[in-house]
């Protein structure tokens, strides 16, 4: 149970970082 909770927590972090990188790339690319 705890392991699953940890994976969900890390998945949230990865998604947040991914979204920020995606937005950053859009801004830099300006496309």
State pTM to two decimals: 0.50
Q: Which residue has the higher pLDDT, 28 or 9?
A: 9
Measured CA to CA, the distance from residue 23 to residue 17 in angstroms comes to: 10
DSSP one-letter code for 1: -
1-27 per-position pLDDT tens digit: 577 788 899 999 999 999 998 887 777
Measured CA to CA, the distance from residue 24 to residue 15 in angstroms comes to: 14
Count of CB atoms situated within 10 Å of the CB of 12: 10
Measured CA to CA, the distance from residue 31 to residue 18 in angstroms comes to: 18
Measured CA to CA, the distance from residue 20 to residue 10 in angstroms comes to: 15
């Amino acid at each position: 149970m705890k392991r699953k909770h940890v994976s969900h927590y890390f998945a949230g972090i990865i998604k947040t970082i991914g979204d920020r990188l995606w937005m950053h790339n859009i801004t830099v690319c300006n496309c």
